[in-house]
Each structure stands twice: as structure tokens, then as C-alpha cells.
Amino acid sequence: MSSEHRATSQEISETLCQEEAAQISEVREENDKRQGISFDSVSPDALTDDGEKIHELAKTMFEKTAVYLQGELAGTIEDYKVLEEMNRITITKYSDMKQIATNVSRSLKELNDKYSSLRPYLEQIDQIEASALKLEHAAYKLDAYSKRLEAKFKQLEKR
């Protein structure tokens, strides 16, 4: 239950109690005025009518308080039901996430195993590439040398 709802419920309860207390005080004051005597000096027999009113008002106050408390309990029960549902959803979500993580882990292990099995071939490819680069450099050098030789040959031929 939200704190705003609790504050409102508490205010309602306090208001109800204050109203009932005010009504009880009014009955006592009316009795004092009507009889022209102090409330404390009245015998219990003289207060039976007023006592019944006070009893009825007290009964009403307790009934309203009971309704208020039942409302509070119902709100709290609803809050717990919402929490239970949220927990169920969270458990399901985490279970799904665990399954996904397990699948990702399995796939990663398979990829690592495949990489390990391909590693010798990849190393051979790297060696071949390095050899090809060396061969290419050698071919460029040979091409440059052959061009110099050709130029020298043409130069010698012209003489």
C-alpha cells in the first residue's frame, strides 16, 4: 500500500474518532445544560438515557474503526498479492535468463573447441601468407634487377 494511501486512511480514522469523541462530548454537555448540574456529580441512574446514547456512539465508533481496519488489512493483502505476482514474474524472467546464459556458454565452448581444432590450419595459413609476402618482395626485387639489367643491356647495345 502506498504511503499516500496509508496517510489518507490514517487521516480518515483520526477524523472518525474525533467526530465520535465530539459527539460524546456534545451529549455530555447537553446533559449538563439540561440538568444544570456538573457531569461528575450526576448519579449513574440519571445517566441511563445519555449512557445509552454514549454506548450507541461508542458502538458506532468501534464499528467504523473495524471497517477502517478491515480496509487497511484488505489493502495490505492486495499489496502482498502484487508482491507475490512480481516475485513469480521475476523468478520466470531469471529462469529464462539462466537458460539463455547456459545456451550462450555452450555455444562459446563449441566455438572455442572449433577454434582450437582449426588453430594449426590457421597457423599454416599465416606461414603461407608470410612466405607469399617474402616471395612477392623477392619478385619485386627480381623485377627491379631485371629492369636494371635490361637497361644496361640496351645501353651496351647502343655503343
Query: What's the N-to-C CA distance of the chain in angstroms?
Result: 110
Contacts of 44 (CB under 8 A, 6+ apart): 51
pLDDT tens, position by position, 58-95:
889 999 999 999 999 999 999 999 999 999 999 999 99
Grade residue 36 by pLDDT with cuts at 50, 70 and 90: low
Mean pLDDT of the residues in the chain: 83
pLDDT tens, position by position, 89-118:
999 999 999 999 999 999 999 999 999 999
Q: What is the 3-state secondary structure (H, E, C) of the chain?
A: CCHHHHHHHHHHHHHHHHHHHHHHHHHHHHHHHHHCCCHHHCCHHHHHHHHHHHHHHHHHHHHHHHHHHHHHHHHHHHHHHHHHHHHHHHHHHHHHHHHHHHHHHHHHHHHHHHHHHHHHHHHHHHHHHHHHHHHHHHHHHHHHHHHHHHHHHHHHHHC
Grade residue 7 by pLDDT with cuts at 50, 70 and 90: low
pLDDT of residue 39: 46
Contacts 24+ apart (CB under 8 A), 123-130: none
Please check the confidence at residue 47 and state whether its pLDDT lies above 60. no
pLDDT of residue 111: 96
More confident residue, 45 or 24: 24
